[in-house]
Chains A and B, each alone.
Chain A
Amino acid sequence: GAVVSQHPSRVICKSGTSVKIECRSLDFQATTMFWYRQFPKKSLMLMATSNEGSKATYEQGVEKDKFLINHASLTLSTLTVTSAHPEDSSFYICSAGQGIIQYFGAGTRLSVL
């Protein structure tokens, strides 16, 4: 099946710094990728839809200046958490669509001190 690679798997950073998370589709091209946030013992919350070659579409309540998304190629989307604060600590998951099926990355656990 299709594989989505997400990197890094874990990052710890100081408050005020920016963190970049990469999401790659390894064996297929994805014009659309998705970024989710998962809170402990809760469901996945869609943050934004990353569109190759155009601006990302953010869900209501998600700050686009806080969570910068770049989808520069058909196999790579990046999420940058800018000026991270402790409340941004969470598990971030990306997915890439192939047809109507979404394939998920393994997730990135962000801890902001």
Chain B
Amino acid sequence: AQRVTQPEKLLSVFKGAPVELKCNYSYSGSPELFWYVQYSRQRLQLLLRHISRESIKGFTADLNKGETSFHLKKPFAQEEDSAMYYCALRNTDKLIFGTGTRLQVFP
């Protein structure tokens, strides 16, 4: 069955520390994976997708098919990165979301 797992509900770090938000998936085909972010009082928005292999706001995510992972990383966290982060897997035209990880970056 298709599934997205984000094992951490909350991740707290200090400003300038590295961040890694974990995401593992279960999918029988070739996965398309995304990271969505929801800042306080804002709507959910796309952060990045694996297919574009880009860095957005300093975040990167590499698809590791061997480990079925798509962890989100940033070398130096900023306070404005505090938000809810959702990993999502595309299944036909639908998105399957993980349960989300709240990132708190303290000054």
Chain A residues close to B by CB (< 8 Å): 32, 34, 41-44, 46, 49, 93, 95, 97, 100-107
Contacts and interface: CB of A to CB of B under 8 A. Distances in A.
Residues of B in contact with A, size category: 10 to 19
B67 interface: no
Contacts of A101: 46, 49
Given A43-B97, A102-B46, A104-B45, 19 more contacts: A32-B93, A41-B9, A42-B99, A42-B100, A43-B98, A43-B100, A44-B44, A44-B97, A46-B94, A46-B95, A46-B96, A93-B43, A93-B44, A95-B44, A95-B95, A97-B93, A103-B46, A104-B36, A106-B43
A105 B95 contact: no
B100 A104 contact: no
Contact of B95 (A41, A102, A106, A107): A102
Interface of B: 9, 32, 36, 42-46, 49, 86, 90, 93-100
The 7 closest A-B pairs by CB, nearest first: A104-B44, A43-B99, A106-B43, A43-B97, A44-B97, A104-B43, A43-B100
Contacts of A42: 99-100
Contacts of B36: 104
Given A42-B99, A105-B43, A100 B94 contact: no
B94 A49 contact: yes
